[in-house]
Amino acid sequence: METKETKGDKMSKTTSNAFADIKVGDYVRSFDFPWIRDLTGDRASYVEGVVVGIGVFDFEGFSDRRYKISVVEKVRCGERNVWSSLCRVKETVYPPLNGPRCFFTGEAASAVERITR
């Protein structure tokens, strides 16, 4: 049910249940671009964190169903930045729930996956 990763994997490989039934308290990875799932290299862009809410949130002028994720780690263009508990300001992101069609690709959204630490 969890993400399967082995050392040296360049892309995330998940079982179908890694996207289903994500709930508050789960540790997840949210990709910036769902069609790019690289974990290393220049195209790797995602955050990892804990789901602290699921519901309708106002975000950038839209109210729709989203995950609320407290960011623990951020990767941009392959560069990792760890957010420690000593940081005063924690980043929160609001990716759309998995399932609805993506505006850009027309495919079902699946940018958030449950993973193990």
Mean pLDDT estimate for the chain:
75
Q: For the range 12-15, what are the long-range contacts, defined as Cβ-Cβ under 8 Å and sequence gap of 24 or more? A: 12/37, 12/39, 12/113, 14/113
**Tens digits of per-residue pLDDT, 34-89?**
778 889 998 999 999 999 999 888 877 777 788 999 998 888 888 887 555 555 55
46, 33 Cβ separation under 8 angstroms: no
Q: Indicate yes or no: pTM above 0.85.
A: no
